[in-house]
Structure 1
Amino acid sequence: MSSATAPPNPDRDHKKDTAPWASGGTMFAGVLMMVNGILGVLEGIAGIAKDDVYERIGDYVYKFNLTTWGWIHLVLGILVAVVGWGILKGASWAKATGVALAALAIVAQFLWLPYTPVWALISIAIGVFVIWALCNDRSDDAVQ
């Protein structure tokens, strides 16, 4: 039987049901992680270098020293940028690590809300998109 007249194989043809924009979202998620990571590094450097760069808006339950926040953002930003690079390179470890780091970054941005409320909300939204895109990517499931 030739391949042109072969009956449809659901195991082989399952990628046809995947929306192309969902698989392209993985590439975009990698770019967003790199950009968000680099901005996190800059945010961390600003918090470490000078404590009066950020001003707290109101009182907040989760209080850390700004230098501590700077180190948290610096380390997390480096990790997020490296994992974003791994996603762009197609590394097998990068997707699961990206989901975990995006979730951790969402929590960190939620705790960072009193210092930069608008950017924290934007970063949370980016993290949610990254998790969605990485969880919906089916490129590794393809049967060769």
Structure 2
Amino acid sequence: MTTTHPGNTRTSLREWATGVTVFAAIMLMIGGILDIMRGIAEIADDDIFVSTRNYVFELNLTAWGWIHLALGVLAFVVSLGLFTASTWARVLGVAIAGLVIISNFLSLPYYPVWSIVMIAISGFIIWALCVMRKDDAFVPFETPTSR
């Protein structure tokens, strides 16, 4: 028979929240790096991507490249802030992941499979950043006895 202590539930919630935050930080970092690479590819060589005619959100691929490059750099920087579990990084992480979803939706005809992958990754990032409660946040230099 296993006995549980009231503190065990709180500790397991904190560990789960820490794991979800680290997951979101790593996913945002990977998404940012992939967006940076996509942006560089779009800026460097427009021949890689398919051009469609009569698309409502038609932009020059170089313009899309700069948009993806900027969002990728922002995502990478914010992912570093998520490793400290700061609230500003969580808020900006959700906002940037939302912008990545919008930009990939708008550039869907140019590179459909990759856009869908990035939309899915960004959806997981938003979920991971929104499920953690503030009181379950990870405090990097807190010892168990200081509670």
TM-score w.r.t. length of structure 2 = 0.78
Pair 1:112-2:107 in alignment: yes
Alignment map for 1:1-144 (pairs within 5 Å): 15=10, 18=13, 21=16, 23-56=18-51, 59-138=54-133, 140-142=134-136
Q: Secondary structure at the match of 2:47?
A: coil
In structure 2, distance between residues paired with 1:51 and 1:142: 46
Residue 142 (structure 2) aligns with = none
- Following superposition, the deviation at residue 13 of structure 1 comes to 8.7
Aligned length: 134
CA RMSD of aligned residues (A): 2.6
Unaligned runs of 5+ in 1: 1-7
TM-score w.r.t. length of structure 1 = 0.80
Unaligned runs of 5+ in 2: 1-5, 138-146
Q: Secondary structure at the match of 1:93?
A: helix
Which has a greater percent of helix?
2
Per-residue CA shift, 1:90-139, capped at 9, x if unaligned?
Answer: 2331001101111111101101111111111111111111111111112x
What one-letter code is carried by the residue in structure 2 that aligns with 1:122?
V
- Following superposition, the deviation at residue 60 of structure 1 comes to 2.1
Is the contact made by 1:109 and 1:121 (CA closer than 8 Å) also made in structure 2?
yes
State the identity %: 47
Give 4+ residue runs of structure 1 displaced > 6 Å after superposition: none
In structure 1, distance between residues paired with 2:84 and 2:18: 15
Is the contact made by 1:23 and 1:133 (CA closer than 8 Å) also made in structure 2?
no
